[in-house]
Structure 1
Amino acid sequence: MAMTFKRPILVGGLGLTASFWLLDTLGHAPVDGSLAMGAIALGSGLWWLNKSRSPQIDMAAPTLVAADREAVSQALARFDSAVETLKADFAEQLEQLQPAIAALQQQKAQMLENLERDTLLISLVGHKSTGKSTLLRHLAASWQPEKTLRYAETALSDEANLVDPNSDLVLFLIAGDLTESELQSLQSLVREGHQVLLVLSKQDQLQPTDREVVLERVRSRVQPMGVDALAAAAAPGPIKVRRHLNSGEVQESLEQPAPQTAALTQVLSTLSTEKSAQLVMATGLRQAKALRHQAIDLLNAQRRQKAMPMIEQMQWIAAGTAFANPLATLDLLAAAAINAQLVLDIGAIYGQKFSLDQAKAAAGTLAELTVKLGLVELATQALGSVLKGHATTYVAGGLLQGVSAAYLTRVAGLALIDFFQAQSLLEPPERQFSFEQLGERLQTGFQQVRQGTALSSFVNQTLKHLPVGNAIA
């Protein structure tokens, strides 16, 4: 079945490439003509890429959203929007998607019901030997808050989910100065929207002067994140007491000090009474955002399935164009046209509309990053090794050029998918379509295509789409 192209950038770019190739083959001198045409092609390609580059729009840093019912409603509205987009864009797969959508709707209903609860969940988080269990037992046995509180205990680990997602307040316990790993875990909790109170536990193990120094140093590091810090000791160690008797004798004994948790319980009392509703709403807001992420993940999985055939189509076009083109400098025009069309097509799948000028600018950025990262040379070396057993001397140059073009087109397409998926997970004010961010994603995509036998498999697949495929495969 013949392909119908409604892609002005692709048609125009490949048409210009073909025109230059045709002029060269019709009678220019072998040396002068090639050099002239190469210069024209290179100049035309750079002009085409840079002619209408649109300036990037720099978004202001996002402001913190108040944790109230209105904020929760807005977050749920964005969840509903993602679900509606999924239903509209993939109506043909709706029957298959319905169970997953129903599960998300059930989570939403449960979340709304939880907004009316009176019970708060407090999670105690920290490394081993920071006093989590001891503090939990003390609070449960010796403190009677006005509100009903539930407790959960979690040891810090490398797992993504540090605490129960239903936690209304996190007590982050440290036994001394804040370590780098503890700081990173704390930052992760704050980014996720948790309400955190840092507790310097086992303060009795520090000298009084050291205790104040450590606490102030910790506060200076966490307060910019909106986290307060205080000291506590749920089970202080025994202290040696020396008594001078009337007889002149000195008597020594060990005494057990009382728990030093008054400051902590006072803060907890205030939070659980005066700030209870706000804590519940903050949890609801965090859960609503997580629910939206789940919906977008489901949507993006369908988008990726739709985008992959487009990338494959473009990579075969790139392979055929580069293989048939005797002027290497003309590859710039073809690659630019293909990458610009990828930006338009994949962007449209992910709900991002770009103008032709914006697509050209993005294609130029992709080309620059590909060169700066050395991906062209790396691809040529890797593919050249694989092709040694395939190509004859006559077609080796054109074949390597064609397979490399397909390979780099696929890498660019995968990077764009990754980029658009990451942007879709952000809140609208946080999105910045700055294609300079694609560098790391290009490297990741490059490695994905190279892993294991993937490179050899890709070469064999590409050969089938070139005129010499049957002869040398």
Structure 2
Amino acid sequence: MSAEDVVPAAAAPRPLPVRERLADGSSQMVYEVQEPDVKALRERIARVLASEGPLLRIANLLLKTKALGREAESTLDAERRLKCEERIDHYQWVTATTVFANPIPALNLVQGAAVQLDLIADLARVYDLDPSPVRLRALAAQLGQAMLKVGLVEAASSVVAGVFKRTPTTFVAAGAVQAVTMAYLARIAGGALAEYFRNGESWGPAGIEGAVLRQFEANSRADFLQDFARQGLDRFLSRVRLKPATAPDGHAR
């Protein structure tokens, strides 16, 4: 800032005290309102606009462009999140339906179906990425190992079993527990992968295990689990042409 950019101005000057003499010879203090004094400021602004107007307009356009860029990025991020959610939802129920029809050993819950190569590839494409088959298999193996290491299979099985514990349709529920657990694990895996791709193929400071645990915590609300289990049970019952007497929360349907 140059010295000529510093100009005196008073947008709201203080009232000026004036002693006024009255007719009886006495006096009193009154305050006269002063007019704003911004003439020097106006003149300086006019000179700046005359000499630097084009540059200021360019700077203003750049600011607007950056704002539009941020808005576009925000819109794109929201669209990508929605696409990821749709793909995760699709794969979790396809996986669950397959497991319901063909139960698998508990130890294979993660390795057998939760981390699918097709799901990884689809989520990567949402972010304009195209991992090689070798990279897809490596990601699936890493994520599966992380889920096993943090005890997610046992935790998910326990959480889902708790949702079904008061369901009287025990024949169906017995097969549905594993299938819904599978869908739940697929959802957690998908959420962690979506976060990984969204962050530029980074698991974050807590690593892959931290990403898995964040998704588990984000999907552990009681109301969400009740609705999730209900969706699964409805899908499975429709396949065997049965109708449940009650929902997983114990209320009549």
TM-score range relative to shorter protein: 0.5 to 0.7
Offset from partner CA, 1:66-94 (integer Å, 9 cap, x none):
xxxxxxxxxxxxxxxxxxxxxxxxxxxxx
Aligned amino acid, residue 83 of structure 2: R
Are positions 1:433 and 2:201 aligned together?
Answer: yes
Aligned amino acid, residue 304 of structure 1: K
Offset from partner CA, 1:375-428 (integer Å, 9 cap, x none):
9636733553245315527973x53222111123134335645765xx4xxxxx
- Residue equivalent to 1:342: 119
Q: How does 1:93-242 map to 2 (within 5 A)?
A: 234-236=11-13, 238-239=14-15, 241=17
Q: What CA distance in whole angstroms lies between the structure 2 residues aligned with 1:359 and 1:253? A: 84
Secondary structure of the residue that 1:324 maps to in structure 2? coil
Displacement after TM superposition at 1:344 (Å):
1.8
Unaligned runs of at least 5 residues, structure 1: 1-231, 424-430
Answer 1 or 2: higher relative contact order, Cα 8 Å, separation at least 6: 1
Unaligned runs of at least 5 residues, structure 2: 1-8, 206-210, 245-253
Q: What CA distance in whole angstroms lies between the structure 1 residues aligned with 2:158 and 2:44? A: 63
Q: What CA distance in whole angstroms lies between the structure 2 residues aligned with 1:369 and 1:266? A: 69
- Residue equivalent to 1:312: 90
Q: How does 1:379-418 map to 2 (within 5 A)?
A: 380-381=158-159, 384-386=162-164, 388-392=166-170, 396=174, 399-414=176-191, 416-417=193-194
Secondary structure of the residue that 2:30 maps to in structure 1? strand
Aligned amino acid, residue 381 of structure 1: V
Go from structure 1 to structure 2 and tell me whether the alpha carbon gap of 1:354 and 1:454 turns closer, same or farther (over 3 Å shift): same
Displacement after TM superposition at 1:293 (Å):
4.4
Offset from partner CA, 1:269-327 (integer Å, 9 cap, x none):
576441333234314523652675488479749x829x73675245432564487223x
Go from structure 1 to structure 2 and tell me whether the alpha carbon gap of 1:368 and 1:233 turns closer, same or farther (over 3 Å shift): farther
Max Rg structure: 2
* Equivalent residue in structure 1 for 2:69, among 256, 271, 289: 289
**8 A Cα contact 2:180 2:232, kept in partner:** yes
**8 A Cα contact 2:16 2:34, kept in partner:** no
Aligned amino acid, residue 129 of structure 2: Q
**8 A Cα contact 2:92 2:184, kept in partner:** no
- Residue equivalent to 1:329: 107
Q: What CA distance in whole angstroms lies between the structure 2 residues aligned with 1:419 and 1:259? A: 58
Go from structure 1 to structure 2 and tell me whether the alpha carbon gap of 1:359 and 1:370 turns closer, same or farther (over 3 Å shift): same
Q: What CA distance in whole angstroms lies between the structure 2 residues aligned with 1:373 and 1:276? A: 59
Q: How many residues align?
A: 222
Displacement after TM superposition at 1:448 (Å):
8.6
Secondary structure of the residue that 1:436 maps to in structure 2? coil
| Identical aligned residues as a percent | 19
Secondary structure of the residue that 1:400 maps to in structure 2? helix
Q: What CA distance in whole angstroms lies between the structure 1 residues aligned with 2:30 and 2:159? A: 78
Q: What CA distance in whole angstroms lies between the structure 2 residues aligned with 1:460 and 1:443? A: 21
Aligned amino acid, residue 277 of structure 1: R
Are positions 1:377 and 2:150 aligned together?
Answer: no
**8 A Cα contact 1:241 1:255, kept in partner:** yes
Displacement after TM superposition at 1:347 (Å):
1.0
Q: What CA distance in whole angstroms lies between the structure 1 residues aligned with 2:194 and 2:202? A: 14
Q: What TM-score do you get using the length of structure 2 for normalisation? A: 0.57
Q: What CA distance in whole angstroms lies between the structure 2 residues aligned with 1:375 and 1:258? A: 77
**8 A Cα contact 1:387 1:400, kept in partner:** no
RMSD value, Cα: 5.1
Aligned amino acid, residue 241 of structure 1: P
Q: What CA distance in whole angstroms lies between the structure 2 residues aligned with 1:296 and 1:252? A: 66
Go from structure 1 to structure 2 and tell me whether the alpha carbon gap of 1:408 and 1:450 turns closer, same or farther (over 3 Å shift): farther
Displacement after TM superposition at 1:434 (Å):
0.8
Are positions 1:359 and 2:140 aligned together?
Answer: no
Offset from partner CA, 1:152-206 (integer Å, 9 cap, x none):
xxxxxxxxxxxxxxxxxxxxxxxxxxxxxxxxxxxxxxxxxxxxxxxxxxxxxxx
Go from structure 1 to structure 2 and tell me whether the alpha carbon gap of 1:267 and 1:368 turns closer, same or farther (over 3 Å shift): farther
Go from structure 1 to structure 2 and tell me whether the alpha carbon gap of 1:447 and 1:332 turns closer, same or farther (over 3 Å shift): closer
Q: What CA distance in whole angstroms lies between the structure 1 residues aligned with 2:242 and 2:129? A: 42
Aligned amino acid, residue 203 of structure 2: F
Q: What TM-score do you get using the length of structure 1 for normalisation? A: 0.35
Go from structure 1 to structure 2 and tell me whether the alpha carbon gap of 1:394 and 1:365 turns closer, same or farther (over 3 Å shift): closer
